[in-house]
Amino acid sequence: MSKKILIFSFLCVFLSSCFLSLHHRRKPALVKGVNMDETLKISHDEMQKKNLSQSLGLWVIRDQIINPAQAKIISELYLSKVDSMNSEFNIWHSSWAISNLYRFGDDAVKAELESAYQKAKKKPERIQKRGMRKLANHHVNGRRTVTGFIHAGGRSYAKRHLVVPGNKRYLQSYDQYRQNETAPKK
């Protein structure tokens, strides 16, 4: 097989996994049975990192149901970290998370997220890459809410970072996440 055919085949397989779980409604993006309190512990740990997954701990919960106490934790976490983020990817994904959580929230959740949401709406301006800035602005401030894990990488991340007791495709506890984080990498 020629090198061009091999590359083309790889690209077709890769691209076919993109956008399979992109939605504009919340319901298809909800994961049933998420233990949000346990998952927020993971989000906190992920936000302490300085790599490209820093924002994904918030991003992965952006379409799930939260209560006002959880919204307060999320807001504090976002506000404490977003200004020190250097990665445009992290600025984009953490702000997108706040936007979705705010838009889907009831009045009490919105009240807890208000400061974070007002800041998140302005964050795409920090992104220098024009195409990325445009996409981030669409996700954060667009008329239609963009939901879902979007592609295979997002689904894979969700399975390793959402706590869903009883669903073996996802983590069962925060302790399981910690064990996975501290296990020697192969």
Structure confidence at residue 150 (pLDDT)? 87
Q: Which residue has the tokens 């992109």?
A: 22
The answer on pLDDT for 58 being more than 60 is: yes
Q: Given pLDDT bands bounded at 50, 70 and 90, which one contains residue 100?
A: very high
Residue type, 149: F
Structure confidence at residue 1 (pLDDT)? 52
Kind plus residue range of the DSSP H or E element containing 150: strand 147-150
DSSP tag of 24 = S
Tell me, yes or no, if the pTM score tops 0.85.
yes
The answer on pLDDT for 132 being more than 90 is: yes
Please state the rounded mean pLDDT for residues 135-155: 94
DSSP tag of 163 = B
Burial of 168 from C-beta contacts in 10 A (0-12 / 13-18 / 19+): exposed
Q: Given pLDDT bands bounded at 50, 70 and 90, which one contains residue 8?
A: low
CB 170 within 8 A of CB 159: yes
